[in-house]
Chains A and B, each alone.
Chain A
Amino acid sequence: MIEAVGLTKRYGDKLAVDQLSFTVQPGQVTGFLGPNGAGKSTTMRLILGLDAPTAGTVTVNGRPFAAADNPMREVGALLEAKAIHGGRSAYNHLLCLAQTNDLPARRVGEVLELVGLTEVARKRSKGFSLGMGQRLGIAAALLGDPKVLMFDEPVNGLDPEGILWIRNLMKTLAGQNRTVFVSSHLMSEMEHTADHLLVIGRGRMIADCTVAEFIEQNSEQQVRVRTPDTERLSALVTAEGGRVSAEGTTLRISRLPLERVGDLAFENNVRLHELTALQASLEQAFMELTKDSVEYHAAVPGGQPAAGGGPGSPSDVPFDNPSQKVEA
């Protein structure tokens, strides 16, 4: 379990991580989602004590990571691909890590077997492909049979087979009641792997919910309409059970099919200048959500795991535009 309270990191005048509070539970894969530069890697570095937080605290299994008796048995981390000395063989790389925690040398052979690098164990890692480098990093993370695993963008640069392998690995690890915390900037990746999601943007928490909730809330079809007579159309749409949010002469309508919106306008003589279907894939929802994280922060239930916003509640849709947000 990882617990962060008010975690903040400032580099010069840039606030990389801004008062993050979250809990990563064991027994499930927790996806850590955010665009590049959102603060995911920084957060992971703070968890590991590589960087010191400007404010706030973070603990791993109840203690600061640096206080762990045997750190490698607590946390295994894959931070960046190839954070290794290329002149050292895979075997010696793992051996020098194992020795720091008094792990037996035969465990090195075991993890090499596990990630499929036995044949190149004596080769210098300089010549490894990106995929092999990732596997070596994962072997290092698994050395201490840790309770908590952290992977920073593990599928970057991997071929489909490697991606599938890592997905299955993470699920297996979570199935063994370990804490698995994995970052990505791709929603599509998390959709397949994660059970729970933490979404951050510009260092702040935007959403903390299950993947199912995220899909429910964000995969809605919407219709965009531009009309000079927004008031009348809004009333008509609402009467039919649709939901409307207005922004100038543009309306965003949900829970009503595009055809019905068009018919309504036609039957009631409302002039339309635009009628567009908005396809809200998870990827788009995610991008929309994180596009301007500060603006959206107020509207989306941050740090509100389950419950609360069911499918019908008005404030849970990140598509909502700012004007409505102020009212909510």
Chain B
Amino acid sequence: MTTLTAVGLPPAKGRSGFKGALRSEWTKIRSVRSTSYTLLATAIVTIGISTLFAWGQSGHTSQEDLADFDPVRYSMFGIIFGQLVIVVIGAMTLSSEYTTGMIRTSLTSMPRRGVVFSAKLLVFTLVALATGLFCSFTSFFIGQAFFQKVQIHEFGPGERRTIGSMDLSTSLGKPHVLQAVVGGGLYLAVSALLAFGLAALLRHTAGAITAAIGALFVTFIMGQFLPHDWAVKVDKYIPFLAGSQIWGLRKLGDKDVPMFSAWGGFGVFTAYAAVAIIIGAYLFRKRDA
């Protein structure tokens, strides 16, 4: 420590604001290993399970199931498990600031909390979207490769016969296909944003992850046990069922239970995440850090 003169510090130009906060949040998210590890895990789980499922589907499709064959959804089934991984990044992006104490350093360098929160939210949204779209498009293309030759079976009494193979694949140019594949990425991204909002509410990593998995997965499983007259009214609001209508060509859910449309359902799903984020943002600004 010889001198304290700030050689590398030119005089200030204007007021610090959103632009600097964005660059800062980008540095934060890319400079910890946990980000790349969890992003990689999301991709491996989503694409890996999608591939396994598509491979299985291409070898075991029966004649009766042909009418329901959804070449988009069946190529992206890994999303169901990938969402459980991407919520970890969503929660940790914010909660790690609290668990490490970094939040106090962050808010001392930029005490305007709305700026900090919105910059973090925007950077994370872009990262989650890029991850989600990468997973959904990769899964889609791998799946179509399998679906070009699907073995069709006929189930007789006590036996199974292969009666030939069909090309059940589709392409992005067909109606609704591009929307559904993009929708897969959107679904993953909004799942992560729901976890982000819950982390702002709870300020606790494990708590936020548990809450997100509860909202996405447990509500869906519980919905399966509802009596039919309840299911008819409630099922379409279950986050997983509402949000998942967008990433397939056919309705997801029991045949006689009504569901939202692709975008209608996705809107409901996004509204859940938005509510968590808005309450989280309010508390982020109001609470003692």
A-to-B contact residues, CB < 8 Å:
45, 48-52, 65-66, 68-73, 75, 77, 79-80, 82-89, 92, 95-97, 99-104, 106-107, 109-110, 114-116, 137, 140, 142-145, 165, 168-169, 172-173, 176
Contacts and interface: CB of A to CB of B under 8 A. Distances in A.
Contacts of B288: 45, 50-52
Contact of A114 (B1, B10, B16, B110): B1
Interface string B9-40: 11011111001110111011001111000000
B111 interface: yes
A88 B108 contact: no
A83 B109 contact: no
B109 A100 contact: yes
B111 A65 contact: yes
Nearest to A91: B31
Given A100-B21, A143-B109, A145-B6, 9 more contacts: A48-B107, A50-B104, A66-B111, A84-B102, A88-B32, A99-B24, A101-B109, A101-B110, A102-B19
Contact of A106 (B8, B100, B112): B8
7 contacts: A71-B108, A83-B105, A84-B100, A87-B33, A97-B109, A100-B24, A172-B4
A89 to B, nearest CB: 7
B16 A70 contact: yes
A54 to B, nearest CB: 11
B22 to A, nearest CB: 9
B289 interface: yes
A99 B1 contact: no
Interface residues of B, number: 42
B66 interface: no
Contacts of B28: 85, 88, 96
A66 to B, nearest CB: 4
Contact of A96 (B27, B96, B107): B27
* From A45, A96, A114, A172, residue with most partner B Cβ within 10 Å: A96
B7 interface: yes
Contact of B105 (A97, A106, A172): A97
A107 B4 contact: no
A101 B16 contact: yes
Given A69-B14, A83-B101, A173 B24 contact: no
B97 interface: yes
Contact of A97 (B10, B13, B24): B24
A144 to B, nearest CB: 8
What 5 A-B pairs have minimum CB-CB distances, sorted nearest first?
Answer: A83-B101, A92-B31, A145-B6, A99-B24, A66-B111
B15 A92 contact: no
B215 to A, nearest CB: 27
A300 B104 CA distance: 35
Contact of A109 (B8, B33, B96): B8
A66 B116 CA distance: 12
A102 B16 CA distance: 6
A106 to B, nearest CB: 4
A208 to B, nearest CB: 25
Contacts of A99: 20-21, 23-24, 27
A264 B61 CA distance: 112
A72 B109 contact: yes
Interface in B75-123: 96-97, 100-102, 104-112, 116
B9 A116 contact: no
A104 B10 contact: yes
A103 B110 contact: no
Contacts of A85: 28, 32, 96-97, 100, 102
A213 to B, nearest CB: 29
B1 A100 contact: no
A77 B111 contact: no
Contacts of A72: 16, 109
Given A51-B288, A107-B6, A71 B109 contact: yes
A48 B15 contact: no
Nearest to A11: B288
A114 B105 contact: no
A148 to B, nearest CB: 12
Q: Which of A66, A99, A145, A172 has most chain B Cβ within 10 Å?
A: A99
A71 B105 contact: no
A295 to B, nearest CB: 30
A145 B112 CA distance: 20
B4 A89 contact: no
Interface in B236-289: 286, 288-289
